[in-house]
Amino acid sequence: MKNKTDLQIRKLFLHILLLVLWNMVGAYVLIYFAPTLSLVGMALNLFIIVFSLTNLFPFASWVSLIIATGVFAGTGYSLINNQMVFIVSTVMGTAVFLITAIICNIYAHVVRKIELKFAGLQQVADSLMIYDESTSLMRWKFANQTLITEIMRGRRYHHDVSLVLFDYLQRDQLSEEDLQKVNKKVAEVLLDGIRTNLDIAFINDRMGLILPETGDKGALIVTQRLIQKINKASDTQAKAGIASFPQDAITEDEILLRAKTALQTALGSDQQVVTYLGVDSESLADLDQPDLETMEESEEQDQQQVYVNILERINLDDDQWVVWIEGFDKMDDISVVEEKLNEIDHIQGIDFLFLQENHLVVKIRSGLSDLIKAEMPFPGWDVVKTSPKNRYLLIRQVQ
């Protein structure tokens, strides 16, 4: 199956060749039918090509056509005394300019489609990058999935998990450039001060740490040490908030909310690090402590079930489904998958969500009311697993 982008690039080269050939033909037509204005005509034809291909604004080719025609006609009116010769020269010159403008307009349209295609692929590639390029920290989008996994593991094996969130005092006063510099310094401190084989440092929507098998006391010791190093390494003052599973929260949403609460308390006080239990001891004393014995645990908690729980949190409209595509090996597969999905009649929209190992997860909008009951909803793929409740399908390419 041919790639649409390759076809568009071939069309682009075809239009370049056509434009070169037509420029030669146009020069001959101008010399033959308008010898007096031939040099002016060739210069104006070149003006249309350059002005159109730079595409400074919409309809640039048509604007250049009007300008060139006006200049050509005005020059002919002043130089040619014979009315019939003037009319023939003007008509032929206008015809040459018109065809040139049409070819340039088509060329510019193909270029725009290719630019949009590559911009879309770049956006997808960026969204699938697990680690932030400037700091080498995991992006929060993927760290959040890791947090979900670690809390599930903590429930099963009765392990602690701590979440640490960092922020800077007077962040609003930092320029984007200064913020990037501070983030890089903080990232270096975090990567140098954590267990890189176990702990997860993350950035983007928020900056922090996921500390598996670490309770609030251990997290407090680690965070205090890191905060001291961060404040020495950077020109701004950092604060941190800590929440732990199961002492403070038993779900990923709760632990994130309570870590935010602790962080806001730290930012508004003279304390550099605040744990959630230290936010307001009087009001927290009445809270019931979570009982791990009453937590619902699955008997077989494998990696695929972790993915299912991640997918449960994706918001879907009534006509949307999550499709988990098995066998994603390289970034070039994105365009192949997108092209194949777009060829399926009932698919009306595609959003790439994230990458999990060798699986590409996408959200599609379908014209079918029930993909699971449909016969061969994805030609070329076998449906391996489905979940009507969560509206997702796991598919594998037919060998």
For residue 241, the domain's CATH number is 3.30.70.270
Q: Which of 289, 316, 347 is the last residue of a domain?
A: 289
Any domain includes 296: no
Any domain includes 273: yes
For residue 59, give the DSSP letter. T
Pair (276, 170) in one structural domain: yes
Pair (258, 322) in one structural domain: no
Residue 59, phi-psi category: left (phi > 0), alpha (psi -120 to 50), beta (remainder):
left
Ramachandran angles phi, psi of 198, nearest 5° = -135, -50
Which residue's structure tokens are 């700091």?
135
Pair (145, 274) in one structural domain: yes
Q: In this predicted structure, what is the pLDDT of residue 280?
A: 60
Q: What is the pLDDT of residues 121-156, one digit of tens each?
A: 666 666 667 788 888 898 887 888 889 889 998 998
Domain extent, residue 42, equals 4-127
Q: In this predicted structure, what is the pLDDT of residue 222?
A: 93
Find all residues with CB under 8 Å of 24, minimum gap 6, and list them: none
Q: What is the pLDDT of residues 224-272, one digit of tens each?
A: 999 999 988 887 899 999 999 999 998 888 999 999 999 999 998 889 9
Find all residues with CB under 8 Å of 147, minimum gap 6, and list them: 161, 163, 210, 252, 255, 256
Pair (280, 150) in one structural domain: yes
Any domain includes 298: no
Q: Choose among 259, 158, 238: nearest CA to 193.
A: 238
Q: In this predicted structure, what is the pLDDT of residue 287?
A: 38
Any domain includes 142: yes
Q: Choose among 131, 137, 158, 161: nearest CA to 148.
A: 161
Any domain includes 220: yes
Please name the residue ranges forming H helices in 80-204: 83-127, 140-157, 176-193
For residue 341, give the DSSP letter. H
Pair (281, 162) in one structural domain: yes
Pair (142, 58) in one structural domain: no
Cβ–Cβ < 8 Å for 240, 162 = no
Cβ–Cβ < 8 Å for 297, 156 = yes
| Interatomic CA distance for residues 238 and 291, integer angstroms | 34
Pair (386, 282) in one structural domain: no
Any domain includes 132: no
| Total domains, the chain | 3
Pair (55, 166) in one structural domain: no
Pair (102, 185) in one structural domain: no
Tokens of 371: 């993909």
Tokens of 123: 């956006």
Q: What is the pTM of this model?
A: 0.53
- Exposed e or buried b per residue across 113-149, where buried means at least 16 C-beta atoms within 10 angstroms of its C-beta: ebeebeeebeebeeebeeebeebebbbbbbbbbbbbb
- Which amino acid, one-letter code, is at 33? F
Find all residues with CB under 8 Å of 225, minimum gap 6, and list them: 193
Instruction: Collect the ranges in the chain with pLDDT lower than 50.
Output: 1-3, 282-303
| Interatomic CA distance for residues 303 and 164, integer angstroms | 25
Pair (150, 278) in one structural domain: yes
Cβ–Cβ < 8 Å for 138, 131 = yes
Any domain includes 295: no
What is the Cα gyration radius of the chain? Answer: 31
Find all residues with CB under 8 Å of 344, minimum gap 6, and list them: 377, 378, 379
Cβ–Cβ < 8 Å for 227, 273 = yes
Any domain includes 277: yes
Burial of 208 (0-12, 13-18, 19+ CB in 10 A): buried
Pair (185, 242) in one structural domain: yes
Q: Which of 127, 153, 187 is the last residue of a domain?
A: 127
Pair (102, 221) in one structural domain: no
H/E element holding 390? Answer: none
